[in-house]
Amino acid sequence: MLDPVLLRKDIDSVVTALKRRGYDFDVNRYQNLEEQRKRIQVETENLQSKRNTLAKEIGRLKSQGLDATDVMQESARIPNELKALEEQLNAIRHELDTWLMSIPNLPHESVPSGQDEHDNVEVKRWINGQYVTADQMPDSLGFEPADHVTLGEKMGLEFDTAAKMSGSRFVFMRGQIARLHRALAQFMLDTQTLQHGYTECYTPYIVNAPTLFGTGQLPKFKDDMFWVTMGGDEEDKRELYLISTSEISLTNSVNGMLLNASDLPIKLTAHTPCFRSEAGSGGKDVRGMIRQHQFDKVEMVQITHPEHSYEALNEMVGHAEHILQLLGLPYRVITLCTGDMGFGAAKTFDLEVWIPSQHTWREISSVSNTEAFQARRMQARFKNEQGKNEYVHTLNGSGLAVGRAMVAVMENYQQADGSIIVPQVLHPYMGGLTVLQPVK
């Protein structure tokens, strides 16, 4: 949620920043609502002052033995008038808050302006154990690479089995391929906790609407969510949602809290399934595991002091990079332009891994600083050095998307005979299995 103080003090800067995101802020609507809010507040304060004055007058008249009937009748009307004003004020605040909840975050000044992914800016590229120039490409495998679907169908990757149960964009894994998927998740969790200092968490996979308002998925992205209704009596039924990322549950762990500055930063990670309806994705990536309704992800979340959030952003990018480097996968880091950033982000870096069968880079992690945008919605604050309450900054990022990491491992480590070499860092998790072999 945007800073209401900034809106009142410097609306021009807000309008300019939002224009960079392609959002036209309705200044007239805002100013009209603000004028109504101020007018009602002034009327309320005047009535409250009048009530106090009349009370004193009633007391004076009675103490002098004079008739206070008229004054008492005038005073008796004030509570109803105050109640009417309160209802008007609540209605205006509700309209204003609902509207502001639908407005995206302001981009950081360092974010490049642009319309879409074509205007994103590459920051660095890593191939064969080192950073390289942006024109260098990964080495050829020496044969025509198969995609992960073709490789996996002989190793326990079963899309038809899943389709019988759930429809398209689901997968059933069996045997060695299921073990590889689990190994990747465990390796990522161990790296994030033991090397990068995150606290491992287990979170609910189903959350309520206020939780989604806190991190910004609602109200704007309801159609992207899977939601369920609890059973039981009609009065007990309530709408709940399957999480699209554990960013939701991890970040909301500080919802409504007043932290101490010494508590910061808070670094959390979790391995969870993620559920997305992929509304609006059309026919994109229907084949295989690139775009699924259900997938696993190891998430990173940091809750930080505002002065240190951009340092934390760079640190988190490094943590995601480290996973890819340990796996020996070629990747690049790009800064998203204003037109390609997510709703709540002030700045985002995407990590894209090389997919040989597509001869292209595909997103495997997105790391964002939302600054105080989510914290205002959640009322997550800390007591600063001056003893004043201040909003924390929240950051989130994939560390990494497990399914896409498995796709990248399968395709980059495939051999001409259809086998797949298991990266060395995964050997401790594979029970001695170092090569995946076709079984049918």
Q: For residue 283, what pLDDT is reported?
A: 60
Q: Flag whether 277 is marked binding.
A: yes
Q: Flag whether 140 is marked binding.
A: no
| Mean pLDDT across 131-136 | 96
| Mean pLDDT across 57-80 | 94
Q: Flag whether 63 is marked binding.
A: no
Identify whether 6 is part of a domain: no
Q: For residue 409, what pLDDT is reported?
A: 98
Which amino acid is it at 428?
Answer: P
Q: Flag whether 246 is marked binding.
A: yes
Q: How sure is the predictor about 31, in pLDDT bands with cuts at 50, 70 and 90? A: very high
138 plus 183 within the same structural domain: yes
Q: Flag whether 206 is marked binding.
A: no
244 plus 336 within the same structural domain: yes
128 plus 77 within the same structural domain: no
pLDDT of residue 184 exceeding 90, the answer is yes
Which amino acid is it at 16?
Answer: T
Q: For residue 239, what pLDDT is reported?
A: 83
Q: Flag whether 102 is marked binding.
A: no
82 plus 143 within the same structural domain: no
Give 290-333 pLDDT, tens digit per residue.
999 999 999 999 999 999 999 999 999 999 999 999 999 999 99
Identify whether 401 is part of a domain: yes
| Mean pLDDT across 12-30 | 97
User: Which of 70, 101, 132 represents a domain boundary (last residue)?
Assistant: 101
Identify whether 430 is part of a domain: yes
pLDDT of residue 169 exceeding 60, the answer is yes
* Domain containing residue 257: CATH number: 3.30.930.10
Give the HSE-up count for residue 2: Cα atoms under 13 Å, Cβ half-sphere. Answer: 27
Q: For residue 377, what pLDDT is reported?
A: 96
Q: How sure is the predictor about 280, in pLDDT bands with cuts at 50, 70 and 90? A: low
Question: What mean pLDDT value characterizes the chain?
Answer: 95
Q: Flag whether 371 is marked binding.
A: no
Around Cβ 97, how many Cβ atoms within 10 Å? 12
Q: Flag whether 81 is marked binding.
A: no
Which residues are within 8 A (CB) of 430 and not within 5 positions of it... i.e. 6 or more apart? 179, 180, 183, 422
pLDDT of residue 32 exceeding 70, the answer is yes
pLDDT of residue 195 exceeding 90, the answer is yes
Token reading at 238: 């309530």
pTM here? 0.92
213 plus 270 within the same structural domain: yes
Dihedral of CA atoms 186, 192, 194, 195 in degrees, nearest 10, equals 130
149 plus 286 within the same structural domain: yes
Q: Flag whether 255 is marked binding.
A: no
Q: Flag whether 278 is marked binding.
A: yes
| Mean pLDDT across 163-188 | 97
Q: Give CA angle at 15 (14, 18), nearest 5°.
A: 85
Q: How sure is the predictor about 28, in pLDDT bands with cuts at 50, 70 and 90? A: very high
Q: For residue 234, what pLDDT is reported?
A: 65
130 plus 87 within the same structural domain: no
Number of separate domains in the chain = 2
Answer whether 131's CB lies under 8 Å from 125's CB.
Answer: yes
Q: Flag whether 396 is marked binding.
A: yes
Cis peptide before 219 (omega within 30 of 0): yes
Q: How sure is the predictor about 33, in pLDDT bands with cuts at 50, 70 and 90? A: very high
**278: containing domain:** 117-436
Which of 146, 117, 176, 142 lies closest to 288 in space, CA to CA? Answer: 146
Backbone angles phi, psi at 146, to 5 degrees: -85, 155
Rounded Cα distance, 141 and 414, in Å: 8
Identify whether 18 is part of a domain: no
Rounded Cα distance, 139 and 152, in Å: 23
pLDDT of residue 358 exceeding 60, the answer is yes
